Chains A and B, each alone.
Chain A
């Protein structure tokens, strides 16, 4: 189950962060997302020299915490997408697919002429769309 998704701007500032838990760990998820930026930085600064990872937007599993797994995605404008999930075994393809949809939604949201680049995304439509994507991900990975 996806517990949190986040968009982080290129100054490492949160643009959008949404948790999907009933519990009380929203603040913890903030920490998890924030810490994952260290891994993104490391991956970006020391890119893997070999093979298909070059020029890849999908960063893969960033790090496992005690209860979560964190995945990352980096757009060409240095905007980071972070996904926090509780699923232990999760297919890479599913995550990639999720990020692709997430990215598309983000592009649509920032294409809004009333959106000021670099500011937080407050669009309700975007939030709804994200929660739909998250739900769909839960169904596909469960099934």
Chain B
């Protein structure tokens, strides 16, 4: 038995992803985003979160995947790692589950087009549900945004 993790589950395209609940500040509905010039296209801009200006990025774009258009279900997940606070646009966010850290397996080189270093692992829940756990610290690193592996769809 490993340690118990509380995980926020969100959807991006076909896949389900997880972020540890303590890294998540809040989950917001879509709101007006102010475009910021001269930044990579996956940075959608900044929002006003109760008086604090926060950047918002499209996670799919961050991983070099095709970006989806926002829907009624789209959410902005505000996460904080170290001194960086940022919002992720996701297709849906609707679940909090407990998983056992023993059930997280080291990811293969590439999962759903995302390089392994951005992933903490893949957790198996129940019979046939897989949850991709993100390595937030790596995702939020600015330096290598250009070196994202391109995977043909």
A and B pair up: no
